[in-house]
Amino acid sequence: MFDASLLPYLSALVFGTALGFICGLIPGLGSRVGLILAIPLCVFWDPYPAAIFLIAMHAVVHTSSSIPTIAFALPTSGADAATVLDGYPLARMGRAGEALGASLSASAIGGVLGALAFVAAVPIARPIVTSFGPPEFLLLSLMGISLISAVSREGMVHGLTVAAIGVLCAMVGLSVRTGEPRLAFGLPELWDGLDLPALVAGLFIIPEMLTPTRFADDGAERSAKLTTISEVFKGMAVTLRYRATLLRSTFYGIVVGLMPGLGASISVWLSYGYAARTVKSEIPFGQGAIAGVIAPEAANNAKEGGAMIPTLFFGIPGSSSMAIMMAALALAGVSVGPRMLGPDIALTYLLGGTVVAANLIAIPLFFLAVPWIVRFSAVRREVIAPFAIVIGVTASLIHEPNLITHVELLFATALGLALKAAKWPRAPFILGFVVGDLLEASSYQTAAIWGWSALMRPMTIVLAVALVAWVAYLIRRKQQRAASVDHPDKSGAILPIGIFALAALAELHGNPQDRIPVFAICMAGLVLSAITLVRPTQAADRRPNDGTLRYGWLVGGFLVANPIVGLTVSSGIFLALMLQALRIRLVPIALTVLGFIGLQLLLLSVVFDIGIERDILGRGLWWLLGR
């Protein structure tokens, strides 16, 4: 017979999985915002079921986030940006179902193996975590930066130049050395650093949505429209042909998740970079290689199991999401730390099983959602573009709703459009931005605490040898480029040179201790930029961009109008003008815009405690009730 005492645990598991799946589907929510919104719901359960609810929700966010990432080129986080590189080109080929099937199976397998690693690590958790210190983090950061050469099809130097811009942007805010503002240009709003969602929206979402795309042929378009469950199964079967890539990426995810501070994006880009170097693919990476979907998705889910180890056992969050998880667990009545390895050991194993169960429950949810969502990938990009742009901008402003975020969004959009026009890589910027804080903090701590004696640490020696061997291999390795790859335009170096020069000038009168890392990055970036100018390369492809900025003036007006008239008003006007430019009839435009704005208002009123959107909703309901 069914034990009624299990009902709270089962309800927490199912509801948490469903809510996490929805948070992954909606750009702008994701794991961090979703966890914050879910904290009040913990009151419906006792501490143990509440912990299951939170862990289940967090475990499947990245599984469902691959759907908008692949179908719409709409990454919900920096970690999802790697999946866009090959997932969206596959959708354009009419293979969206296959890409999503590969994503689902890789995410499920990675999540389950990560949870099993978490359970297996219980007896040996302390020596694993405590063996890494700042010297090891420094070397791992450098290894992550060097992997940009594999991520960037356009070339190692171009990738490193863009990554240097990312590292420089990560230095904006309060210095880790002195605590004084740096590269903030006198604006206190920049003391907390730049906003990652705004950077992702400007670098990826807006440039991609402004680029008209066509399917490879008529057959590809029909295939996208008729995507079926069988194609998703085909993608799942394809994953098994890349077992080595799947297991290696899972390993990267677990290990990187285990080390506090590295975060999700490192494991994703490490796995993607290694796959790009080692996996033989008929389609080049970045143009629709199925392994380019499998590798980051496996690492993305596997890292949750690794991140749970320092978070639950030692109270050291393995990522920013896990930092929020710790606060949520505390509010739910669960204390992390040594108790999880002693009196609460049963809860530890229960949470490990929760991750496994949540990943398995997410599979049928995935199949229910995919057939309806994937077919939208066959819709003209011009129709999807205005909604995707508004969603991306809304996601940015939900995270940090202030004027500086608008400025950051404009800066990132200009940078993204310039890099895309010059055929320079954009993905390395995200990796540099994510690694930047850790790179600077670990280098400072290593120099201050250990100095040269850090090279005598056993783990440091192992990683240093691996790094030297890796760099030597990269120098000797000839860059193999497919004939179809667009060669970067040398004129693209003008923008990085201007950014590095401006940053160096801004810090001329700053604190001497803070100037050193800024000047080091600026000098490295200027040298790399100069190399791209003098280095002989094949002529850049001068084919027309096919109207990349056809609606650029509308998007620019939308971004400028946001801080003036407000997000809701500017979104409505922008959507109406874009749809009218596409020759859509007035009635569908009105109904579509009103429905979208209603959903936007609802989301904003839920996220913010006080805001004009909530006031408008309240007045509207009051009027409807006839009061």
Task: Give the residue, 115 or 624, on which the prediction is more confident.
Answer: 115
Task: Give the residue, 90 or 399, on which the prediction is more confident.
Answer: 90
Q: What are phi and psi of 536, to 5 degrees?
A: -70, 130
Query: How much is the mean pLDDT over the chain?
Result: 77
DSSP notation for 354-423: HHHHHHHHHHHHHHHHHHHHHGGGGS-HHHHHHHHHHHHHHHHHHHS-SHHHHHHHHHHHHHHHHHHHTT
Mention every residue, 6+ apart, whose C-beta is less than 8 A from residue 312.
336, 340, 348, 351
Is residue 362 within 8 A of residue 60, CB to CB? The reply is: yes
Is residue 286 within 8 A of residue 159, CB to CB? The reply is: no
The angle formed by the CA atoms of residues 464, 470 and 474, to the nearest 5 degrees, is 145
d(CA 404, CA 389): 19
Reported as a pLDDT band with limits 50, 70 and 90, residue 611 is: very low
Encode pLDDT of 365-411 as tens digits: 887 777 666 555 555 556 777 887 887 788 777 667 778 888 888 88
Tokens coding 486: 């667009």
Type of residue at 621 = L
- The pLDDT value recorded for residue 230 is 79
The torsion region of residue 178 among left (phi > 0), alpha (psi -120 to 50) and beta comes to: alpha
- The pLDDT value recorded for residue 376 is 55
Type of residue at 616 = I
d(CA 66, CA 75): 8
Q: Which residue has the tokens 């020696």?
A: 461
Is residue 357 within 8 A of residue 546, CB to CB? The reply is: no
Tokens coding 287: 């143009």
d(CA 222, CA 76): 27
Encode pLDDT of 581-604 as tens digits: 877 888 888 888 888 888 777 767
Highest mean predicted confidence (pLDDT) among 185-189, 315-319, 622-626: 185-189
Is residue 33 within 8 A of residue 19, CB to CB? The reply is: no
**Cβ neighbour number for residue 484 with a 10 Å cutoff:** 9
Is residue 54 within 8 A of residue 35, CB to CB? The reply is: yes
Above 80 in pLDDT, residue 613? no
Encode pLDDT of 108-117 as tens digits: 899 899 889 8
Q: Which residue has the tokens 């800066």?
A: 411
d(CA 530, CA 537): 13
Reported as a pLDDT band with limits 50, 70 and 90, residue 475 is: low
The bridge status of strand 181-182 relative to strand 173-174 is antiparallel
Encode pLDDT of 245-287 as tens digits: 899 899 988 887 776 555 556 778 788 888 887 887 778 787 7
d(CA 330, CA 333): 5
Helix, strand, coil percent values for the chain (each to nearest 5): 75, 0, 25
- The pLDDT value recorded for residue 315 is 67
User: Average pLDDT, stretch 40-67?
Assistant: 85
> Is the sign of the CA dihedral 74, 80, 86, 87 positive or negative?
negative
Encode pLDDT of 406-431 as tens digits: 888 888 888 988 888 888 887 778 77
Task: Give the residue, 478 or 74, on which the prediction is more confident.
Answer: 74
Mention every residue, 6+ apart, whose C-beta is less than 8 A from residue 396.
195, 197, 198, 201, 405, 408, 409
Encode pLDDT of 160-209 as tens digits: 888 889 889 888 888 877 778 888 887 887 888 887 778 877 887 788 77
Encode pLDDT of 552-563 as tens digits: 778 888 888 888
Above 80 in pLDDT, residue 73? no
d(CA 294, CA 313): 30
- The pLDDT value recorded for residue 523 is 92
Mention every residue, 6+ apart, whose C-beta is less than 8 A from residue 162.
148, 152, 419, 424, 425, 426, 428, 429, 432, 496
Reported as a pLDDT band with limits 50, 70 and 90, residue 222 is: low
Reported as a pLDDT band with limits 50, 70 and 90, residue 330 is: confident
Reported as a pLDDT band with limits 50, 70 and 90, residue 616 is: very low
CA distances, 292 to each of 81, 84, 350, 487, 582 (Å)? 11, 9, 33, 21, 34
Encode pLDDT of 75-87 as tens digits: 766 667 778 888 8
CA distances, 120 to each of 108, 114, 259 (Å)? 18, 10, 16
Encode pLDDT of 434-472 as tens digits: 778 778 888 888 888 888 787 788 878 887 887 777 667
Is residue 81 within 8 A of residue 200, CB to CB? The reply is: yes
Reported as a pLDDT band with limits 50, 70 and 90, residue 544 is: very low
Above 60 in pLDDT, residue 614? no
- The pLDDT value recorded for residue 52 is 92
Percent of the chain with pLDDT over 90: 3
Is residue 202 within 8 A of residue 412, CB to CB? The reply is: yes
Encode pLDDT of 339-358 as tens digits: 777 778 888 889 889 999 99
β partners of residue 174: 181
- The pLDDT value recorded for residue 53 is 92
- The pLDDT value recorded for residue 256 is 79
- The pLDDT value recorded for residue 517 is 86
The angle formed by the CA atoms of residues 229, 217 and 388, to the nearest 5 degrees, is 65
- The pLDDT value recorded for residue 216 is 46
User: Average pLDDT, stretch 465-491?
Assistant: 62
Nearest CA-CA partner of 41 in 26, 57, 25, 21: 57
d(CA 166, CA 173): 14
d(CA 328, CA 325): 5
